[in-house]
Amino acid sequence: MNNQRIFIGIYPAGIVYADRTVEIDGDYARLAFLPYSTLELEFSRTCPAELKPEIRDSAALIQAKRGQAFRISECGQSVMLGSL
């Protein structure tokens, strides 16, 4: 399991999956992105194949909530998943 290697960030436009072991310009290297609007998982071309299954599994949990509100901040802001 690579759960300590993969960083999952909740951002205003979607969920970012990044590699904690690789930095680019001071940030973790992006592995994949899951936009809230489409819920279509987008892998970076540099994402290692061995990390993809875990990212897919994590994204599937969010994708299964299509049509539901998803909280994106501590102050209660939320988005509608799959709103496009």
What pLDDT does residue 16 have?
98
- Both tokens of 78, joined, read 């939320």
SS3 4: coil
pLDDT tens for each residue of 13-53: 999 999 999 999 999 999 999 999 999 999 999 999 999 99
3-state SS string over 27-73?
A: EEEEEEEEECCCCCCEECCCCCHHHHHHHHHHHHHHHCCCCCEEECC
pLDDT 10s digits, 44-67: 999 999 999 999 999 999 999 999
Q: Is the pLDDT assigned to residue 11 strictly greater than 60? A: yes
Domain-wise residue ranges, the chain: 6-80
Whether the CB-CB separation of 66 and 81 falls below 8 Å is answered with yes
